[in-house]
């Protein structure tokens, strides 16, 4: 699916003149690919008409890059498709949250359970894992092994064959032990069969989870829609995790799942515990289209994305303080495109000093590590702009979470301070010069 869409965009980009016909051909091609992948007709129709509405070829000022504008409109509309807009449950700190994972066998449930637990543990949660898969031999051992590696408490049994009993026992035990995130792994079957759904419903009734997460293998493509629908009809699926995004299929399936209007919250990008990312629609679409692959970063130094710059500038302009979250966003953006200092020359005049030539690679690697460190920060920490809040014990927690030395976290804090100061000064000057400015 991703390939057909990028191919269509590519053809449009290669046309000598971009006119109505070229645009229509491109959109038809994309629509065909989406329909073939079972995306609902209405979604496809809306997507096409929205792109046409936004790209009015006749009114485009001369000198603007039409191809880029069309491409951007298409990417934006695909993002819209993924944006289900439906608020979903997020675990609340300070209470007990029970989260149940469902999905077909081999989709990556057990792996994802541990990743989810590990992700939250790094942010200061107290997760625990319950293995309610009594169907597959070795299921408990697998969970045990994963949990032990991540130092997460687990519950399960080799002898008991009733998944409902185990699920209830595990959840009760961890509730008593005051765990705030109790994760229930369930069994899957190869096919969507009545027995699977019945067992799932029973575990659901017995443990009354706050959230059910449907785990989907991204490579299944077209079958994704039916599968997601079937699961949704059996239990109330609140969120989706798409796994194996590192594989060939690049997750066209997620686009299809979007058609079921279930919000995707995370993606799995490998077998390891930390190969797990918060889902970001835009990044996802770019990856689906074969762009913005984070690993091939240096090869992808694309033209400066003016939209992103404007968006960032606007965000910055309305912020009194540069929080850690914003700092991470800046780094992520820079990390995605190239490096932030060379892409925001209007903000960081001293870009040469901050990113001396020849050191871009090291700086990018560092930024990447800083981003990972901030992934281990709690929301309170991300929303603050006072490095003093990050005291010794917090620094240790972040270092543990990110798997890096304490000294490196301190270095990140220092860097944050420098950049935040620099940005604040520049923003103040900008506001003085142009007090009424309200957009990018």
Residue 203 and residue 90 in contact, taking contact as beta carbons nearer than 8 Å: no
Q: How far is the CB of 111 from Mg ion (least distance, A)?
A: 8
Q: Tell me: does residue 146 bind Mg ion (CB under 5 A).
A: no
Number of C-beta neighbours around residue 391 at 10 A? 9
Q: How far is the CB of 135 from Mg ion (least distance, A)?
A: 9
Q: How far is the CB of 145 from ligand GDP (least distance, A)?
A: 11
User: Nearest 5 degrees, angle CA 182-CA 185-CA 191?
Assistant: 155
β-pairing, 276-278 with 264-268? antiparallel
Q: Tell me: does residue 218 bind Mg ion (CB under 5 A).
A: no
Number of C-beta neighbours around residue 297 at 10 A? 19
Q: Hey, which residues between 182 and 201 contact ligand GDP (CB under 6 A)?
A: 188
Residue 401 binds what, of ligand GDP, Mg ion, none (CB under 5 to 8 Å, by partner type)? none
Among 268, 292, 334, 401, binds ligand GDP (CB under 6 A): 268
- Contact region for ligand GDP (CB under 6 A) — 29-37, 59-67, 101-109, 375-383? 101-109
Q: Hey, which residues between 62 and 121 contact Mg ion (CB under 5 A)?
A: 109-110
Among 103, 153, 252, 401, binds ligand GDP (CB under 6 A): 103
Q: How far is the CB of 143 from Mg ion (least distance, A)?
A: 7
Q: Tell me: does residue 270 bind ligand GDP (CB under 6 A).
A: yes
Residue 336 and residue 374 in contact, taking contact as beta carbons nearer than 8 Å: no
Nearer to ligand GDP, 66 or 122 (CB): 122
Number of C-beta neighbours around residue 250 at 10 A? 22
Residue 111 binds what, of Mg ion, ligand GDP, none (CB under 5 to 8 Å, by partner type)? ligand GDP
Cα separation of 241 and 231, whole Å?
Answer: 13
- Comparing every residue's Cβ against Mg ion, the nearest one is 110
Among 4, 7, 105, 314, binds ligand GDP (CB under 6 A): 105
Among 76, 110, 134, 283, binds ligand GDP (CB under 6 A): 110
Exposure of 241 by Cβ count < 10 A (0-12 exposed, 13-18 middle, 19+ buried)?
Answer: buried
Among 6, 76, 234, 269, binds ligand GDP (CB under 6 A): 269
Q: How far is the CB of 245 from ligand GDP (least distance, A)?
A: 6
Question: Which pairs with CB-CB distance under 8 Å and at least 24 residues apart come from 348-356?
Answer: 348/422, 348/423, 348/426, 349/426, 350/422
Residue 114 binds what, of ligand GDP, Mg ion, none (CB under 5 to 8 Å, by partner type)? none
What does the longest C-alpha to C-alpha distance in the chain come to?
73
Q: Hey, which residues between 235 and 254 contact ligand GDP (CB under 6 A)?
A: 243-244, 246-247
Length of the chain: 440
- Comparing every residue's Cβ against ligand GDP, the nearest one is 268
Among 160, 271, 302, 362, binds ligand GDP (CB under 6 A): 271
Backbone angles phi, psi at 99, to 5 degrees: -120, 130
Nearer to ligand GDP, 43 or 113 (CB): 113
DSSP percent split of the chain into helix, strand, coil, nearest 5: 55, 10, 35
Q: How far is the CB of 188 from ligand GDP (least distance, A)?
A: 5
Helix 306-317 × helix 324-337 angle, to 10° = 170
Residue 336 and residue 371 in contact, taking contact as beta carbons nearer than 8 Å: no
Cα separation of 118 and 30, whole Å?
Answer: 38
Would you tell me which residues interact with Mg ion (CB under 5 A)? Answer: 109-110
Would you tell me which residues interact with ligand GDP (CB under 6 A)? Answer: 103, 105-111, 188, 243-244, 246-247, 268-271
């Amino acid at each position: 699916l991703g390939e057909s869409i990028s191919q269509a965009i590519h053809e449009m980009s290669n046309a000598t003149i971009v006119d109505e016909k070229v645009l229509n051909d491109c959109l038809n091609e994309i629509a065909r690919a989406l329909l073939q992948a079972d995306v609902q007709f209405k979604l496809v129709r809306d997507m096409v008409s929205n792109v046409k509405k936004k790209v009015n070829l006749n009114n485009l000022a001369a000198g603007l890059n039409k191809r880029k504008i069309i491409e951007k409109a298409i990417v934006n509309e695909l993002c819209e498709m993924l944006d289900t807009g439906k608020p979903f449950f997020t675990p609340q700190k300070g209470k007990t949250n029970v989260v149940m994972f469902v999905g077909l066998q081999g989709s990556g449930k057990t792996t994802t359970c541990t990743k989810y637990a590990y992700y939250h543990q790094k942010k200061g949660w107290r997760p625990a894992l319950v293995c309610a898969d009594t169907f597959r031999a070795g299921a408990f051992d697998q969970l045990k092994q994963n949990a032990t590696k991540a130092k997460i408490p687990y519950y399960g049994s080799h002898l008991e064959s009733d998944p409902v009993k185990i699920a209830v026992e595990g959840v009760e035990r961890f509730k008593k032990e005051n765990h705030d995130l109790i994760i229930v792994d369930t069994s899957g079957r190869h096919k969507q069969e009545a027995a699977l759904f019945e067992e799932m419903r029973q575990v659901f009734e017995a443990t009354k989870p706050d959230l059910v997460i449907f785990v989907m293998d991204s490579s299944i493509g077209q079958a994704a829609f039916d599968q997601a629908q079937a699961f949704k009809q059996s239990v109330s699926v609140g969120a989706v995790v798409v796994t194996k995004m590192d594989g060939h299929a690049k997750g066209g399936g997620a686009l299809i799942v979007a058609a079921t209007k279930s919000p995707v919250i995370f993606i799995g990008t490998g077998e390891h515990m930390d190969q797990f990312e918060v889902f970001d629609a835009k990044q996802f679409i770019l990856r689906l289209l074969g762009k913005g692959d984070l690993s091939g970063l240096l090869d992808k130094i694309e033209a400066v994305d003016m939209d992103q710059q404007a968006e960032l500038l606007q965000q910055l302009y309305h912020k009194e303080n540069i929080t850690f979250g914003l700092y991470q966003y800046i780094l992520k953006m820079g990390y995605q495109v190239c490096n932030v200092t060379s892409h925001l020359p209007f903000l960081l005049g001293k870009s040469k000093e901050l990113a001396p030539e020849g050191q871009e690679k090291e700086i990018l690697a560092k930024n990447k590590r800083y981003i990972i460190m901030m992934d281990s920060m709690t929301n309170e920490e991300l929303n603050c702009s006072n490095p003093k809040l990050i005291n010794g014990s917090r620094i240790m927690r972040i270092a543990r979470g990110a798997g890096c030395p304490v000294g490196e976290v301190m270095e990140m804090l220092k860097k944050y301070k420098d950049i935040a100061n620099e940005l604040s000064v520049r923003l103040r000057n900008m506001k003085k010069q142009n007090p009424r400015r309200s957009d990018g």
